[in-house]
Structure 1
Amino acid sequence: MEIVAAADGSSLGNPGPAGWAWVTAEGAWQAGGWPRGTNNQGELMAVLDLLRATEKFDASLRILCDSQYVINSVTKWMPGWKRRGWKKSDGKPVQNRELLEQIDAALAGREVSFEWVRGHSGHDLNERADDYARAVATAYQQGVEPETGPGLGGGRAEGAARTESADANGSAHAGDTAQNALADADAAGRASRPASTHSERTAHAVPADHNAALDAALFDLDDDSFAADASAAAVAELRRLEVDSTGREHPEFERVGAELTGTPEFVRVSLLGSGVALVRSQIAGRERTSVWQLTDGGDFQRWLLRLRHQS
C-alpha cells in the first residue's frame, strides 16, 4: 500500500513563531512548532515527523510538499553535502544540518517519493497542512497552547513532543493494519481542521503535472545558495505583500504612475536571483509591476518594496 500525505511549515516573521504539520489522504494529522523558528525548519520538521510517524507501517510513502528547498535538499543536494562533510559547494556550512541528518537517517530502508504541489492554490491536503502549521505558529505568537493533533490511530507522533527547539532529536505492522489506523484517524482529523538516494532507500521527486513542472523549473538550482528566498514560501509571501505592503517600503522606494486601488489579481511572481523578485498583477484591467528586495530587518530578513509601476 501507499501512504499519501502533505507536509508543510509556517513561520510568522521567518524567523519567528513557527509551526509544522502533516495530513494524510485519510485525514490523520499531526502538528507542532517552536516559539522561534524559520519556515524552512518547519517544512523540514513536518517531513521528519511524518517519516517517524509512518516508519512502522509496511507501506511506501508519497510526500506532497510545496517547498522546493525541502525536495531539492533530500533528493538532489544531500549526497553532495555529505561527501563534502555537510558543506555546500561554496564551502559554507549547510543550514539546518541537524534536521537534515535526521531526515537522512529516517529515510534508510524506506520507499519514499516527494511530489511538488503549488502552495496556496486550493490543493486540499496542502491547504490543510498549511492551516494546521499556521495555527500552531499563531498559538505560539499569542502565548497559548497549540493543538498538536491525534497523529496516526489517535496517538501522539514521536516527534511531536520534541519541538521546543528547531533541531529536535528523536515490530512492523501489516499493510491492512496501517490502512485501518489511517482510516480510524479520518473522522477526528477532518472534524478538528482549523479556520539522496542509496542502496537501502528510495527518495525521489515526482512532478505533479505539466504546469507544476514548468513552475518548479524556476527553482531548479544546483545548490541551495538561494534557498532562503527561492522557495514556494517566498512566492506566497510576496503575493500576500502585494495586497498589503503597509510598512514594507524600502527607504529608496520609487513609485511610477498613480496608485491603483482595489484588490490585485495576481499574474506572476518571478524570483530574479538571490533576494530580488518581480511581481506582476492586475487591478481593474490595468497592470501593476513591483520590484521587491530581501533586506536585513535586524535579527531576520524581510521583503521590502523598491519600485512600483502602474500602467
Structure 2
Amino acid sequence: MTIIAAADGSALGNPGPAGWGWYVDPSCWAAGGWPHGTNNMGELTAVLDLLRQTAHLEEELEVLCDSKYAIDTITKWMAGWKKKGWKKADGKPVANLEIVKALDVAMRERVGKVTFTWVKGHAGHALNEEADRLANGASQAYKEGRVPDGGPGFGDAADRVTGAARVEDDGAPAAPAALPEASLFDAVPAASLFDAVPEVDPLGAAAPGTDAAADEGVSRDDAPLLAPGVEEVATDPRETVLDLERALLTDAVRSDVERVADLLHPEWSEIGRSGRLLTREGFLQGVGPVGHVDMDVLEVSEVSPGVVLIVWRSHGRAGATLRSSWWVRERGEWFQRFHHASAERA
C-alpha cells in the first residue's frame, strides 16, 4: 500500500505571515506556519512534517507537490549541497538551511520508500487543493494573530503537530482555527534571502552567457517572492509593481539567480533589443550583475485588475532602449510575465 499525500506552502506578501499544510484525507492532515516566513519555507516544511509524522509507518509514501523548487531541493540539489559543505554551485549559502538539513536526515531514513510527483497548482487536483487551502488558512491565521489548528496528523507519531481535527459538512477539514499551542517549527528563522539590501539602483538587462547556478534553485512554478524592501501591501498596485521592476534590475537581486527566478512568471518570455525571443530558462542561465544604466520611467498603468504595464527607457553604450514590462498578479503576488526591448529611433 502506498500513502498518497499532497504538501503545499503559502506566504501572504512573501515574506509575511506564512503557512504550510499536507493532506491525505479528512481524518489525516496537518498544518502550521509562522508569523513571518516565505513560501519556500512553507513548501519545504510541509514535506518535512509529513516525513516526520509518517516515519513510524511501513507503507511507501508518494508526496504530491506543486512546487518544483521543493521537489528539486530534495531529489536533485540537496546531496550536492551537502558535499559542498551546504553551499550552492556558486559558493553561496543554501537558503532555508535548517529545514533542508532536517529534510536530509528525514530522507536518509526513508531511502527507496518516498517518491515525489509534481502536480499543477490550482488546476482542480483534489489533494493539492486541500493542501493549498490548509497552507493558506494557516497564513491567514497568523496574519490575524491566531495560531492555526495543527490537525490530527498521523496517529501517535512522535513528531506530529498537535491539534484537534474539525470536519466540515462536505467532509473536508475546516480551515485552521486558533489553538493555544504553536507549530513545531515556529523556531525556524526566516530565510536569509530576505535580508535588507541597498537602495534600489536601476540596471540594464543582462545578456545570456554569464556564470550562474543554473543547475539549482531556479526551477519554480509557484508564487514569486517579493523583492527585499517591497511592502507587503501597497495602496496603489502601480507603486508595488514599479518597486518590483526596479528591484529586479539591481545588482543585489541580479547576482542571485533564485531572487530573479522568484520574480518571473513560469511562462515568462522576452523579446530582446536584437529581436531575439528569450525564454525564462534561457534568461536564468545567463543572469548576473551588469552595472548601472539610467532608467527613465515613461508610463506605469493598471491596464486591468491584476495587470500592470510599465514603459521605460534605459541608456547604455548601444544607445537608448525603449522597454516595456507586463506584470500580472496571481495567488496574491505580482510577477513579471513579459518584457520587450527595442532600440529607440532618433
TM-score using structure 2 length:
0.55
Whether 2:60 is the aligned partner of 1:52: answer no
Gaps of 5+ in 1: 162-184, 196-220, 236-243, 254-266, 276-282, 294-301
Give distance in 1, aligned partners of 2:13 and 2:61: 31
Conservation of the 8 A alpha-carbon contact between 1:18 and 1:140: yes
Give distance in 2, aligned partners of 1:90 and 1:11: 27
Corresponding residue of 1:99? 99
Per the TM alignment, residue 158 of structure 1 is displaced from its structure 2 partner at its CA by: 1.8
Per the TM alignment, residue 270 of structure 1 is displaced from its structure 2 partner at its CA by: 2.2
Whether 2:326 is the aligned partner of 1:291: answer yes
Corresponding residue of 1:193? 174
Counterparts of 1:217-236 in structure 2 under 5 Å?
A: 221-224=214-217, 226=218, 230-234=220-224
Q: Identify if the C-alpha distance between structure 1 residues 103 and 159 changes in structure 2 by more than 3 Å, giving closer, same or farther.
A: farther
Q: Identify if the C-alpha distance between structure 1 residues 306 and 53 changes in structure 2 by more than 3 Å, giving closer, same or farther.
A: closer
Q: Identify if the C-alpha distance between structure 1 residues 245 and 304 changes in structure 2 by more than 3 Å, giving closer, same or farther.
A: farther
Corresponding residue of 1:41? 41
Gaps of 5+ in 2: 177-213, 226-235, 246-264, 270-279, 288-303, 310-323, 341-346
Which moved further from structure 2: 24-33 or 54-63? 24-33
Per the TM alignment, residue 194 of structure 1 is displaced from its structure 2 partner at its CA by: 2.8
Give distance in 2, aligned partners of 1:66 and 1:126: 8
Corresponding residue of 1:152? 154
Corresponding residue of 1:168? none
SS at match of 1:70: helix
Report how many aligned residue pairs link the two structures.
221
Per the TM alignment, residue 27 of structure 1 is displaced from its structure 2 partner at its CA by: 4.9
RMSD: 3.9
SS at match of 1:45: helix
Q: Identify if the C-alpha distance between structure 1 residues 121 and 51 changes in structure 2 by more than 3 Å, giving closer, same or farther.
A: same
Identity %: 46
The structure that is helix-richer by fraction is 1
Corresponding residue of 2:15? 15
Corresponding residue of 1:135? 137
Q: Identify if the C-alpha distance between structure 1 residues 307 and 86 changes in structure 2 by more than 3 Å, giving closer, same or farther.
A: closer
Conservation of the 8 A alpha-carbon contact between 1:4 and 1:25: no
Per the TM alignment, residue 245 of structure 1 is displaced from its structure 2 partner at its CA by: 4.7
Q: Identify if the C-alpha distance between structure 1 residues 222 and 249 changes in structure 2 by more than 3 Å, giving closer, same or farther.
A: closer
Per the TM alignment, residue 186 of structure 1 is displaced from its structure 2 partner at its CA by: 11
SS at match of 1:118: coil
Corresponding residue of 2:77? 77
Conservation of the 8 A alpha-carbon contact between 2:326 and 2:339: yes
Give distance in 1, aligned partners of 2:38 and 2:160: 18
Per the TM alignment, residue 123 of structure 1 is displaced from its structure 2 partner at its CA by: 0.8
Residue deviations 1:256-281 (CA, integer Å, cap 9, x gap): xxxxxxxxxxx983262459xxxxxx
Per the TM alignment, residue 107 of structure 1 is displaced from its structure 2 partner at its CA by: 1.2
Give distance in 1, aligned partners of 2:335 and 2:167: 43
Counterparts of 1:237-252 in structure 2 under 5 Å?
A: 245=237, 247-250=239-242
Give distance in 2, aligned partners of 1:252 and 1:140: 25
TM-score using structure 1 length:
0.61
Greater RCO (CA < 8 Å, at least 6 residues apart): 1
